[in-house]
Amino acid sequence: MKRLMLLGLALSLGACQMVGPDYQVPGDAAVQRGDLNGPLRQDAASVVSAPVPEDWWQLYQDPRLNTLVRDALGANTELRVAAANIAKARAQLEVAQSQGGFGGGAKVAAQRLQESGEAFLQPDKVPVANIGEAILSASYQFDLWGTFKRGSEAAQANADAVQAAADTARITLVADVVKAYTQVCSANEELHIAHQSLGLQQQSVQLNQRLRDAGRGDETQVTRSQTQFKSLRAELPRFQAEREAGLYTLAALLAKPVEQLPAGTAECAELPQLAQLIPVGDGAALLKRRPDVRQAERQLAAATATIGVATGALYPNISIGAQVGTIGILENLGEPSTNRWGFGPLVSWTIPTNGTRARIREAEASTQAALAHFDGVVLNAIRETQTRLAQYSALLDRRDALAEAEKSAKEAADQTHRYFQAGRESFLADLQATRTYTDMRGQLAAANSQVAMGQIGVFLALGGGWKEAAARQ
């Protein structure tokens, strides 16, 4: 009998196999499609086919912006949450990896005990006694079906997904910092131009009033110029509010008061300018770089491993253990009559029910959902990037057209001013030409702000700002 038990155990150990499917990215997944791994939209005037830099914001060559990003990465509350989630996922991985294998325990107890006489087939009452026990146990649980390994795989994939989510939080934070800083600079620039336009319009009001008083104008012209003055003045609070909103956004992202932002942040009046064309890379690099794609792929891996965990419930658990200890009256503990020991295999099996197989089907359905989600994230990544590039190209075209109009308005203003100095144009004509030029400057400033925001959107869609080395530490 002993030999048969040992033979059965040896055969069981030899039959060790992994339940559930081995994970690999499905061949029909969207990420495998050649048309999604090809070149991204290319426009020689706006982008260049080159690898996306990790620290893309440094392309602006703005030391103050670099300081803002660095401080945000070190103090932002969202990144602190992400770091805590990573620590939690790693702890869960350690728990999964500790399942099965060797285990041990110790038990020490003492009690005043009245045993039942009939429990020992004794007709008389058993005397009350002080009973104690001290037992040491050790065991080893075999992972014959790979259930525990599948659990470790699922936990590892989940930890990788949490890391990718943290990477997403990081690149989103960087983009938000650059956006807020750009908003402050843009609002200050547009506010400055608006004040100039308001000053010119005030001169127009005064001139029309003098003409009216001299009998060379009428009240309608005065009222019209006053209305335009009031309209321009009504725009000032909007720029001031945008500036304040940008500053408070930076303060929240850096977790510090506005007063403690780097010197000169509130007074920035010049938009950050790229020192080169935007590098975009290709689709294959994009899908490897974007954290949301990696997160979805790791979620698919975790769901696949869960099938094996659910399947393992169909099979018995086999372990081998040993105990040594002493149990009896307290005064006799340690005596030969109270000592006990034992060792041997243990096989436990919960007969599979419909619920067990339903959980397998549930895991398989979850894997199919994870694959569909993965495909959706990949398709959305390509769509978002191509859309951002198209929008950026359109913003550049509009900005260039406004730049030409602004140049023409400046030439017209200069020419009119020369004619005025030569006595060939009136002061009102000179004032109107200068105001037209100032208005064009305001439109161009707004267009430059939109271009800057478009650049940030492109870098965000490209997944720039994530460092693989830093993420794995």
pLDDT in 10s for each residue of the chain, 473 residues: 454 344 445 444 444 578 889 999 999 999 888 888 877 766 656 778 788 888 889 889 999 999 999 999 998 988 899 999 999 999 999 989 888 888 889 999 999 988 888 887 888 888 888 999 999 999 898 888 889 999 999 999 999 999 999 999 999 999 999 999 999 999 999 899 888 888 887 887 887 788 788 877 678 777 877 887 888 788 889 989 999 999 999 999 999 999 999 999 999 988 988 878 888 877 888 888 899 999 999 999 999 999 999 998 888 888 899 999 999 898 888 898 899 999 888 888 777 777 888 899 999 999 999 999 999 999 999 999 999 989 999 999 999 999 999 999 989 988 888 887 787 887 778 788 888 888 898 899 999 999 999 999 999 998 876 665 344 43
Q: How many CA atoms lie within 13 A of 20 on its CB side?
A: 35
For residues 138 and 263, membership in a common domain is answered with no
* Same structural domain, 129 and 84: no
State the Cα–Cα distance between residues 194 and 233, nearest whole angstrom.
8
> Taking the C-alpha atoms of 99, 105, 111 and 116 in order, what is their torsion angle to the nearest 10 degrees?
70
Amino acid (1-letter code) at residue 163: Q
Structure tokens given for 257: 């008061």
- Please choose, from the candidates 448, 430, 146, the residue with its C-alpha nearest in 3D space to the C-alpha of residue 313: 146
Q: Shortest CA distance to 266 belongs to which of 83, 457, 409, 64? A: 64
In a domain, 379, yes or no: yes
1, part of any domain: no
With respect to residue 407, please indicate whether it lies within any of the assigned structural domains. Answer: yes
Question: Do 107 and 190 sit in the same domain of this protein?
Answer: no
Question: For the chain, what is the HEC assignment?
Answer: CHHHHHHHHHHHHHCCCCCCCCCCCCCCCHHHCHHHCCECCCCCCCEECCCCCCCHHHHHCCHHHHHHHHHHHHHCHHHHHHHHHHHHHHHHHHHHHCCCEEEEEEEEEEEEECCCCHHHCCCCCCCCEEEEEEEEEEEEEECCCCHHHHHHHHHHHHHHHHHHHHHHHHHHHHHHHHHHHHHHHHHHHHHHHHHHHHHHHHHHHHHHHHHHHCCCCCHHHHHHHHHHHHHHHHHHHHHHHHHHHHHHHHHHHHCCCHHHCCCCCCCCCCCCCCCCCEECCEHHHHHHHCHHHHHHHHHHHHHHHHHHHHHHCCCCEEEEEEEEEEEEEHHHCCCCCCEEEEEEEEEECCCCCHHHHHHHHHHHHHHHHHHHHHHHHHHHHHHHHHHHHHHHHHHHHHHHHHHHHHHHHHHHHHHHHHHHHCCCCCHHHHHHHHHHHHHHHHHHHHHHHHHHHHHHHHHHHCCCCCCHHHHCC
Q: Is residue 120 part of a domain?
A: yes
Task: Give the domain-ending residue among 324, 351, 378.
Answer: 351
Check whether residue 96 and residue 215 sit in a common domain: yes
Other C-beta atoms closer than 10 Å to the C-beta of 227 total 11
Q: Which of 61, 465, 36, 46 is nearest to 279 (CA)?
A: 46
Q: Which two tokens stand for residue 344?
A: 């041997």
pLDDT value for 467: 61
CATH number at residue 323: 2.20.200.10
Residue 298 sits in the same domain as residue 246: yes
Same domain for 356 and 346? no
One domain, residues 262 and 385: yes
Q: Please, are residues 345 and 391 in contact by the beta-carbon 8 Å criterion?
A: no
**Can you give the CATH number for the domain in which 153 is found?**
1.20.1600.10
Domain that holds residue 364: 17-100+143-314+352-462
For residue 166, tell me if it sits in a domain.
yes
| Phi, psi for residue 368 in degrees, rounded to 5 | -65, -40
Cα–Cα distance measured from residue 451 to residue 401, given in angstroms and rounded to the nearest whole number: 13
> What distance in Å separates the CA atoms of residue 113 and residue 126, rounded to the nearest whole number?
10
Residue 262 belongs to some domain of the structure:
yes
CA 121 to each of CA 115, 118, 125, 420: distance values in angstroms, whole numbers, following the listed order: 12, 4, 11, 127
Which pLDDT does position 471 carry in this prediction?
42
Note the pLDDT of residue 229. 81
In a shared domain, residues 327 and 382: no
Task: Identify the burial level of 178 via C-beta atoms within 10 angstroms of its C-beta, where 0-12 means exposed, 13-18 middle and 19 or more buried.
Answer: buried
Q: Are residues 118 and 232 in the same domain?
A: no
Number of domains in the chain: 2
Q: Is beta strand 278-279 parallel, antiparallel or unpaired with respect to 47-48?
A: parallel
Decide if 248 contacts 258 (C-beta within 8 A).
Answer: yes
The CA distance from 109 to 106, in Å, is 10
Residue where a domain stops, chosen among 351, 376, 405: 351
Residue 5 lies in a domain: no
| C-alpha to C-alpha distance for 230 and 110, rounded to whole angstroms | 92
Q: CB count, 10 Å around CB of 44?
A: 8
> Does residue 2 belong to any structural domain of this protein?
no
Same domain, 221 and 279: yes
The reply to whether 194 and 45 lie within a common domain is yes
Q: Specify whether 240 is located in the same domain as 116.
A: no
